[in-house]
Chain A
Amino acid sequence: MTVRLVECSRGDQVRILRIDAGRGATLRLMNMGLGVGATAAVVQCSPLHGPLLLSHGGTEVALGYHLAEKILVEKD
């Protein structure tokens, strides 16, 4: 099922399909291992537009709500 990353909840496994952020943020995400095609687990998501915590390949990455809104993922 294709959804925005912000719509995912704790424990979901996701695969990144598209990133609609600017070049800077996209490259930064790639450097943290979250490029298109990467798979990750949602470790935490906070209520009320708080940040998300993704875990993948031994790295944890915190993502602000507004950035997570721009990331399209496939979740199973």
Chain B
Amino acid sequence: MTLTLLESPSVLSAPRARPPRARPLRVALAGNPNCGKTSIFNALTGARQHVANYAGVTVERRAGTCPLLNEPGELIDLPGTYSLNAYSPEERVAEAELLAGPDVVVVVTDSTQLQRHLVLLVQVMQLGANPVLCLNMADEARAAGQTIDVEQMERLLGFPVVETVGHRGEGIDRLVAAIDRAARNPVERHKLVLGEDLDRALDDIARALPPPARPEQGAAWVATRLLVGDQRQTRRVAALDGGEEAVALARLHRTRLEAATGCDIAVFVTERYFGFVDGLLREVRHRPRHVDTRQLTDRIDAVVVHRLAGLPLFALVMFAVFWLTFTVGDYPMGWIDAGIARLGEGLSQLWPEGSDSPLRSLLVDGMVGGVGGVIVFLPNILLLFLGLAFLEDTGYMARAAFLTDRLMHRFGLHGKSFIPLVTGFGCSIPGIMATRTLENERDRLTTMLVLPLMSCGARLPIWMLLIPAFFPPAWRAPTLWMLYGFGIALALLLALTLRRTLLRGDDAPFVMELPPYRQPTLRSVVLKMLTRSQVYLRKAGTTILAISILLWAATTYPKPPSYQVDAQLAKGELALAPEEVEARRAAEDLEHSIAGRLGRALAPVFAPIGFDWKIVTAMIGAFAAKEVFVAQMGIVYSLADGGQGTDSLRALLARDYSPLVGISLMVFLLIAAPCMATIAVTRRESGSWRWALLQLGGLTAIGYLLALVVCQLGRLVI
């Protein structure tokens, strides 16, 4: 079919009158997944939103301001969307934003994929929006030998077109100028030609639309939705006065066109979009006859996603990440640990020896002992995130989804669920958000519910504390790896159970685009690490600090009126060295405190899985934030030895608990009671408390049972 770009007079391109803006300028960034929208957004606003090399990174609307624009305004980054006939929850977010009518829509495209990415532009034009076309990834297109006649393209389309390299900020100044230009003179009419038969049908339907359903600009869009039988639009229009007529007319055209073409109307319309894009590209794009931009990618994929070697390779890569986290992380961790210990001693010396000043205890035991214990693990956290950044930025993450598809299928999910799960290694919250990329509601709920079993970054400090306390060096990295593996295995089993019981139903078809391999830039990796450090330290300095102070108070007060050990000494029943007397007093203090009493009241419940009251209090704190477990153990032990101890917390734990309790503890902490924030997000994303509470109760029960099995079996064996 040949399509010209000449405009035909019709209702659809009637000149529009935009009312003067009363509110600040609103600019939305839209485009296919992974074309670089967030990179552009960051370049325009100076923000540091998450960028990674796979489809479906951004799943929420994010707003920012661009100081470079002439007119102050709001810039909105959107999830990637292939089209405006939304399919998955994250695409609906983008659709809703575009339908809300921003002043300028920047349509971002991957220049090497224009024949597909420009289809969204066609829909945006139908919507009557005021677009700016951003041809991103211009570097890759150039490397493939493609050139675009940008001026010719602007002439044909009638709105600004700009080439950019988003992640390096090239062309951003021109993009800013283009947005300014578009904001000043909105497009009057779009020159869109979709073929005579279709154009005529759309025009016909648009003319029949009752005035309220006939937005000055978007009539073509409403007509198209009616033509393809979109339920929401049909219902909306049918409810209006005279709307029935338009709906009936649309049905008539649909039957006629389907009979004439022999294919589904939506497929037919989409083909025409592609036709328009082809026609446009023929006039503006020049490239060598044969270009293969994917040679490198295809060659790497021959090995990486190999049918047999692929999965073992992935397991190996993950092992390397954990090994790095442990071995490399240990050095800087040691330095920070020493520094914090010195800080504690220094602070202690501000008071006379043996002082029982509450302020000294708050500073040394509560804050340094609590928060300091958490900050120590910053290097390990950074290494874990470095590993994740490597997975994300190279494009390997999407391959992992492909590789695990078959496995996931056995358990009632598919490969796409794997990406949220891996994201959960960082933190459960973005992991749960990332389930928005799953089209099928049941897949999505299942993935969300089992996601906390992915051991998150906040739990890493716990493993870093416990594993070396109970395992010899050679076993540490393998233990960590097995712990993560255990979480995954359990998540899959639970997913299967859910899919067989509460969430029964067909599985959605699995289709996913894999990005080309890209070399992560040093800048982006460093920036990610910086952002992570900030997040971690901020959390340590706020949430964890606050909870540590609370827990410190609960572990310190009330003090007993008198000490048993003193009474015994007075009666001459005991003869103890002064340090021993101190230690006994401290122990009595702990037992008398609120935390001690609460812990001991609950201890019988946890005795079967080997936990004593100290662990129980730390566990309660961990419900607020997982790292608090480490903080509270630090506080308890710091109080117990009156801040005099020089032994590391790890050594003290090894002294007081058996390895079996250590394992039982790890099993319980991995599975039971996801943190409060996770429960809240599950509630929001699933839309009901029922699922959130099921997640909380179910996981806690399973965690308890498995810890019980470990503990009881272990006692039999040992």
Contact = CB atoms under 8 A, between A and B. Distances in A.
B267 A23 contact: yes
Contacts, number: 126
Contact of A26 (B267, B291, B510): B267
How big is chain A's contact interface, by range? 35 or more
Contacts of B45: none
B264 A59 contact: no
B509 A66 contact: yes
Contacts of B32: 31
B509 A21 contact: yes
A30 B267 contact: yes
Interface in A30-76: 30-33, 35, 43-51, 53, 55, 57-67
B151 interface: no
Nearest to B273: A30
B330 to A, nearest CB: 38
A31 B119 contact: yes
Interface in B380-408: 398, 401-402, 405-406
A31 B305 contact: no
Interface string A1-41: 00000000000000000000111111111111101000000
Contact of B301 (A31, A53, A65, A67): A53
A51 B415 contact: yes
17 contacts: A23-B266, A25-B509, A26-B264, A27-B83, A28-B82, A29-B511, A30-B271, A31-B32, A32-B511, A44-B307, A48-B406, A50-B405, A53-B301, A55-B294, A59-B116, A61-B511, A62-B415
A44 B299 CA distance: 11
B119 A62 contact: no
Contacts of B87: 24, 27-28
Contacts of A23: 264, 266-267
Contacts of A28: 82, 87, 511
Interface of A: 21-33, 35, 43-51, 53, 55, 57-67
Contact of A59 (B274, B292, B415, B513): B513
A25 to B, nearest CB: 5
Given A44-B301, A59-B113, A62-B415, A51 B510 contact: yes
Contacts of A55: 294, 298
B430 to A, nearest CB: 22
Nearest to A24: B87
Given A27-B270, A49-B409, A33 B116 contact: yes
Contacts of B305: 43-44, 53
Which of B144, B292, B402 has the largest count of A CB atoms less than 10 A from its CB? B402
